[in-house]
Amino acid sequence: MSEPLLIVRDLVKHFPQYEQRILTKRQTGSVRAVDGVNLDVMAGETVGLVGESGCGKSTTARLILRLIEATSGSVIFDGVDVLNADDEALRRLRRQMQIVFQDPYASLNPRLSVREIVGEGLRIWGETADFDKRVGDLLDRVGLNRRFLDRYPHEFSGGQRQRLGIARALAVRPKLLVLDEPVSALDVSVQAQVLNLLVDLRDEFDLTMIFIAHDLSVVRQICDRVAVMYLGRIVELGDRDGIYTRSTHPYTQALMSAVPVPDPVHERERERIPLEGDPPSPLNPPSGCRFHPRCFKAETICRTEDPPLIERVGGHECACHFPEVSNVT
Amino acid sequence: MSAAQSDGGGAPLLRVDDLRATYDTEGGVVRAVDGVSFELRHGEVLAIVGESGSGKTATSLALLDLLPKHIGKVVGGSAEFDGIDLTKLSAADMRAVRGARIAMIFQDALTALNPVHKVGKQISEMIRAHQRVPRSQAWERAVDLLEMVGIPNPRERASNYVHEFSGGMRQRAMIAMAIALEPEILIADEPTTALDVTVQAQVLDVLLGLRERLGMSIILITHDLGVVARAADRVMVMYGGRKIEEQTTEGLFANPQHPYTKGLLRSMPRLDSVIGDRLTQIPGAPPSLVNPSEACRFAPRCDFARPICDEQYPAQVSIGSGSQVACHAAGDPTWETNT
Amino acid sequence: MSASRSDIAAQATAARPFSERREKLMLLLANRQGMVGLVLVLAFFASAIFAPWLAPYDPNALDIPVRLSGPTWDHWAGTDSLGRDQFTRLLYGARVSLGIGVSVAFLSTLIGVTVGVLAGFLGGWVESVLMRLTDIALMVPPLIFLIIGARMMQDKLSGGAIWPLIFLVTVVSWMTIARVIRGQVLALREREFVEAARALGAKKRRIIGRAILPNLIGIITVNLTIAVAGAILLESTLSFLGLGVQVPTPTWGNMLDSAKSFIETEPYLVWFPGLAIVITVLCVNFVGDGLRDALDPTQRKT
Amino acid sequence: MWIYALKRCGLAVVIVFCALAALFALLHMIPGDPVSIALGPRATPEVQARYAEKMHLDEPLVVQFGIFVGNAITGDLGMDVFSERSVTLIVLDQLPFTIVLALAGLGWAVILGIPLGCLSAVRPNSWLDRVTGLVSVGTIAVPSFLVSIWSLLVFSVMLGWLPVLGAGDPGDLGDQIYHLILPAFAVGLGWVGYLARLVRASMLEVMGENYIRAAWAFGLPRRTVVYRYALKVAILPTITLIGIGFGNLLSGTVFAEIIFSRPGLGKLIFDMVMNRNFPVVQGAVLVTAALYVVVALVADLVVAWTDPRVRESL
């Protein structure tokens, strides 16, 4: 196996909580949004990052692109140390790593025309030869009419805006595309269009993708490997079939069992693993295994000892003291 | 599957007939609800499914005269509930119905509960708005209700403000408020959409448990077909402000009739499907409802559209045992074989 | 296979005939109050600029025999205690009042926007220092500051200079817009399209210029108009207290000041300059409100 | 909550100190001989010498400032070299007039403005709403010195209903109130429109919130929804504004005081500035700033106490 395209090691992001004083600030604590994430992404594969709100999946994405500064850890992209790159090196790196955002309304500058939005990357990198034609080709490629060049974002529907966001990211021909909940703001009928488009583009542009979502079914549709996150950590990591049919972490199992299946007969017979309460606050995560207060298997050791993410049963990595294969779908 | 499942016979609890509601916007008049008819029976869970802008929320707001003031209004139709027409009630009579006989819960409980009153205070105030109960007694009731929806330490929690609650607890608190007067109908507008799946499951359980216990009927508004499969007895699918299909839940999932419903079911990524390369997709985007033409709203996106679809809106066709579909192609044998 | 059909459907729903800019212009034109305000404000500016050609008399020409004559055919707005034509002086006064109003508005907006953008975009200690400075400046009672300041610069003012007034009024006028702009920049900075620009490798200058500033134009314009009104009020106030522009240069404020002594016998001397101030400020506010309605995205529905 | 209150008090002290420093710097930054600048060319040499000694002008600036601050803390604002009276006493003499005027002016504005804004928000586009809208825009556009002149012109000169000048007979409460009417009207008028507009906007925003819709959906009576649910939230920004407004009025009454020849802090400052009597100005401004900060502080604390979201985050 070749060297991974992206290597993430012990990535940590703590958002300090401040109390404003007159001129200074005093730290009162910190939100441990991402707390030691390890992840390798091979060239050409699509890795899914799933978890509930507040588990740190979007923060992880922004850390990898260094849109926010990490507290500690390392990100190596294509052999280059992203977190220690100087401004100029970072700018060059960013051509190769692009991101598509969740909110199709907030992610496009309302004051710029489609030409300027999609072509922004070309302008930044001075590739202005055949500008209109290149932007037009990109529009074609994401299924939009090239006559839309002079329109403004508010004239488009949510699905079309998301296509614009994808075209903008592809303009600089990145190697890695990070998709942060790209379809969760879209209606179901439009979701499928965008997912299909992404699959097509992945093949055509040889993209490596990190796909972030809270919807397990969407991730299953598009990803080769899946990482399940809980409170800033990856708790289970494996290939798609492994995660979806032979998951070993109780959280993955509970999560999977909670997703309702659109089939009333099957759905009403399914066995469910009920979880008590809401996910705890990342401001003050539980001791030991972070999942233990909600875990149906928790024992004394779980309260005191944090299980490492290592390969256990089922052929994939799992951070649990009592991993067991189970199929809950 | 439940004891309270639709009994088939008997007069319906709520009979909505040709309900129409509009929104005035700068772009023009939006026909948000455009001739919707349905019945709700005693003790059943009726799901209204549709995408954003399909009119599912507007329908429920129209029933309780809660459309945004000065913008939205009911312009036609009737909604008969226990011998009274909800659309013709005076403001005072409507107020007596709201909350007490038909209650509603909303998607985002954080913004739907008052930020500056204690949660227990809000519940007891709501009780006292409808019944002459002393303050302390109403407070006790509020505590009991919080316990009933599964909030730990209800007595303590009643003195909290909503921002001190977690997402799941907020939704539970709102449910507690809605069931305080044991309403006959509970309208739940996307009650779980803003919640994480693990919490969503808990809240759905609470809702269904209460249905059993109090024998109320529920109108469940959602865009999530998984939630429908889990919780509903009957489903009505809306598209472009109109009802396009209605069936029992089993019937709808086993044998969807309208091309949109079929497309929706197929375009959904699901946990239990065989993984193929591509999802079946419905092309295009939902229609604008500003001054719509008489054409079938779905025709521009429909793979089976025919000339007639662009000319007139299809009538509602009954397809046996309370099921209905509005499609020119429905029941056409040649079309059936094509799909 | 469905690509072509999907395209057709997409285009059917996407079409909107007007560009955003045209749409806003239409909204502004549709706002009756705003339009009336705009027309009147433009008229005032025109008459101020062309005062030497429009005015029937020399503003400083004394005509003692007709002093304190009420409004007549010869003197539409009457004459003052030295027999100077009030209407002429009103026109010339507009030059000073509007001139100061516009200069102050531009200067204070410039300072406010600079402070707000720098504080909001750079954050950190720059933000702390700038915003604390703004807070302290806001605590200074503007009138007292102006009274003290104008008194100290009185020798300059007596020499007929106007810049000390512009300077003083600007000093008390920039804080509100700085705070508003900072709030907006903070919100914009978190918007995903700004992140997207960074992700594409855009430099800070480009992000401020292309992503932040264009999205502030609406709020800057609105504040600019409102600042004009505020500055006219402050200037007339100071001149009324005898601390602003010194006679014989006419301004609406010092005309009122000199009229004070004749309030019991010649009330018209108090009415006309006062009305000039009120109508101007009212119209400028109408324009501001109209602009706000036209530019505020929450007013529009998609 | 208490910690928050303490912190805000600390901040208030810092702000007053800054204001003090700024004022001190302003008054000492004027180029030239401080004595003749402070006293003007008319002062006799004896007065000048006495002034220089009283103000410790021979000491370095920092020391002067230190002395000034030290005295200010003990309530000694220095001595007026012309009248030989204590500045503290001079200021305290004028203070009640201004406070009464500011309270009366803001008081009637609050009593009228808040219900007007509230009612016009509850019934948008009604005739009441339109009238309120016109009044708001109108009163905001009329500077308060014009209101003073015009109301004097109309009610005293033309109609002769109300007295022209002064604050009334010191011993006669009725006469004092009689003399208070016009100035209070002039001072408060702009605030009626301002408050009405703010309350209306704030109410409309709150009335559009989800929890108001939910309150309707739960069948709560109109009065509960409007007054206990909506107004309680909508009033919060108004409280802050009233605090700031009161602070501003402590100096903003200057026109009313000048035009109606009424004693008060504003008139004192104006007169002393015109007479270049800067020690008195310094003292009066300091008292104004301190009062302003205290009022703003109280308003902030009231808001924090009323809004659990703010209270919680403290």
Q: What is the pLDDT of residue D232?
A: 84
Looking at chain A, the whole-number percentage of residues with pLDDT higher than 90 is 50
Average pLDDT over residues C234-262: 82
Average pLDDT over residues B149-153: 89
Residue range C75-99, pLDDT digits in tens: 666 777 776 778 888 888 888 888 9
Confidence of residue D167 (pLDDT cuts 50, 70, 90): low
Q: What is the pLDDT of residue B232?
A: 93
Output the CA torsion B212→B208→A231→A85 (10° steps). -170
Q: Which residues does chain C have within 8 Å of residue D30's beta carbon, measured at their own beta carbons?
A: 152
CA distance C186 to chain A (A): 14
Average pLDDT over residues B178-207: 90
Confidence of residue D194 (pLDDT cuts 50, 70, 90): confident
Q: What is the pLDDT of residue D80?
A: 72
Q: How many Å apart are CA D286 and CA D14, to the nearest integer?
A: 13
Average pLDDT over residues D205-217: 87
Of D18, D46, D73, the residue at which a domain comes to its end is D73
CA distance B110 to chain D (A): 9
Neighbours of chain D (3+ CB pairs under 8 A): B, C
Written as one letter, the residue type at B181 is L
pLDDT at A1 over 60: no
Residue range D103-148, pLDDT digits in tens: 999 999 999 999 988 888 888 778 888 888 888 878 777 877 888 8
A233 φ/ψ angles, rounded to the nearest 5 degrees: -130, 155
Q: Which residues does chain C have within 8 Å of residue B27's beta carbon, measured at their own beta carbons?
A: 301-302
Which residue intervals of chain D are DSSP H helices?
Answer: 2-28, 34-39, 45-54, 61-73, 87-122, 127-141, 144-151, 173-207, 210-217, 222-223, 232-252, 254-259, 265-274, 278-306, 308-312
Looking at chain B, the whole-number percentage of residues with pLDDT higher than 70 is 94
C26 lies within 8 A of chain B by CB? no
Confidence of residue D3 (pLDDT cuts 50, 70, 90): confident
Q: What is the pLDDT of residue C297?
A: 47
Neighbours of chain C (3+ CB pairs under 8 A): A, B, D
Residue range D56-84, pLDDT digits in tens: 666 677 777 787 777 777 777 777 766 77
CA distance C210 to chain A (A): 8
Contact A85, A67 (CB under 8 A): no
Contact A195 B279 (CB under 8 A): yes
Confidence of residue C21 (pLDDT cuts 50, 70, 90): low
- Which domain range does residue D44 map to? 2-73
**Residue at D81 is within a domain:** no
Least confident residue range of A234-243, B189-198, B325-334, C186-195: B325-334
Which residue intervals of chain A are DSSP H helices?
Answer: 57-64, 87-96, 114-118, 120-124, 131-141, 158-170, 188-205, 216-222, 240-245, 250-258, 264-269, 300-304
Q: What is the pLDDT of residue C149?
A: 85
Tokens found for residue A327 = 């199929």
Q: The domain that contains C249 carries what CATH number?
A: 1.10.3720.10
pLDDT at A157 over 50: yes
Residue range C93-124, pLDDT digits in tens: 888 888 999 999 999 999 999 999 999 988 88
**Residue at D246 is within a domain:** yes
Contacts with D198 (C-beta within 8 Å, 6 or more apart), sequence order = D117, D237, D238, D241
Buried b (16+ CB within 10 A) or exposed e, A162-173: bbbbbbbbbbbe
Quick one: D118 and D231 in the same domain? yes
Q: What is the pLDDT of residue B177?
A: 92
Q: What is the pLDDT of residue C299?
A: 42
Confidence of residue D275 (pLDDT cuts 50, 70, 90): confident
Average pLDDT over residues B284-311: 84
Quick one: D131 and D199 in the same domain? yes
Q: Which of A67, A109, A154 sits opposite C211 (nearest CB)?
A: A109
pLDDT at A63 over 90: yes
Nearest to A329 by CA among A262, A235, A232, A280: A262
More confident residue, B229 or D251: B229
Confidence of residue C300 (pLDDT cuts 50, 70, 90): very low
Domains, chain B, with CATH or none: 14-101+181-269+279-337 (3.40.50.300), 115-180 (no CATH)
pLDDT at D269 over 80: yes
Quick one: D52 and D170 in the same domain? no
CA distance C119 to chain B (A): 30
pLDDT at C301 over 50: no
Contact D221 B95 (CB under 8 A): yes
Of D42, D73, D104, the residue at which a domain comes to its end is D73
More confident residue, A42 or D240: A42
Residue range C40-71, pLDDT digits in tens: 888 888 888 887 777 777 777 676 676 667 67
- Which domain range does residue C111 map to? 98-297
Q: How are beta strands A233-239 and B28-40 bridged, if at all?
A: unpaired
pLDDT at D193 over 80: yes
Contact A256, A235 (CB under 8 A): no
Nearest to B161 by CA among B111, B115, B106: B115
Residue range A242-273, pLDDT digits in tens: 888 888 999 999 998 888 888 888 888 888 88
pLDDT at C239 over 80: yes
Q: What is the pLDDT of residue C182?
A: 92
Quick one: D291 and D171 in the same domain? yes
Residue range B72-112, pLDDT digits in tens: 889 999 999 988 999 999 988 999 999 899 999 988 888 88
**Residue at D259 is within a domain:** yes
CA B187 to chain centre: 6
Confidence of residue A235 (pLDDT cuts 50, 70, 90): very high
CA distance B199 to chain A (A): 6
Average pLDDT over residues C203-216: 89
Contacts with B298 (C-beta within 8 Å, 6 or more apart), sequence order = B239, B240, B244, B258, B259, B260, B287
Residue reference for tokens 């595309």: A177
**Residue at C285 is within a domain:** yes
Q: The domain that contains D174 carries what CATH number?
A: 1.10.3720.10
D269 lies within 8 A of chain C by CB? yes
Least confident residue range of A113-117, B129-133, D13-17, D85-89: D13-17
**Residue at D170 is within a domain:** yes
Measure the CA angle with vertex B76, ends B74 and B77; round to 5°: 115
Confidence of residue A81 (pLDDT cuts 50, 70, 90): very high
Q: How are beta strands A208-213 and A176-180 bridged, if at all?
A: parallel
Residue of A nearest to C16 (CA): A155
**Residue at D50 is within a domain:** yes
Which residue intervals of chain C are DSSP H helices?
Answer: 3-14, 20-30, 32-49, 51-54, 86-122, 124-139, 142-152, 154-158, 163-171, 175-190, 192-199, 204-206, 217-240, 252-259, 268-295
Q: How many Å apart are CA A198 and CA A109, to the nearest integer?
A: 22
Quick one: D280 and D170 in the same domain? yes
Round the average pLDDT of chain C to a whole number and report it.
78
Confidence of residue B338 (pLDDT cuts 50, 70, 90): very low
Average pLDDT over residues D7-13: 76
**Residue at D128 is within a domain:** yes
Q: How many Å apart are CA B248 and CA B216, to the nearest integer?
A: 18
Average pLDDT over residues D153-178: 73
CA distance D222 to chain C (A): 27
Contact A23 C202 (CB under 8 A): no
Q: Which of D18, D19, D140 sits opposite C285 (nearest CB)?
A: D140
Contact C201 A95 (CB under 8 A): yes
Average pLDDT over residues A9-20: 84
Neighbours of chain B (3+ CB pairs under 8 A): A, C, D
Q: What is the pLDDT of residue C12?
A: 33
Round the average pLDDT of chain B to a whole number and report it.
87
pLDDT at A11 over 80: yes
Kindly report whether the peptide bond that precedes residue A4 is cis, defined as omega within 30 degrees of 0: no
Chain C interface disruption, residue of B23, B297, B301, most C CBs within 10 A: B301
Quick one: D118 and D214 in the same domain? yes
CA A121 to chain centre: 22
More confident residue, C37 or A80: A80
Q: How many residues does chain A have?
A: 329
* Structural domain count, chain D: 2
**Residue at D198 is within a domain:** yes
Q: What is the pLDDT of residue D159?
A: 75
Residue of A nearest to C8 (CA): A145
* Structural domain count, chain C: 1
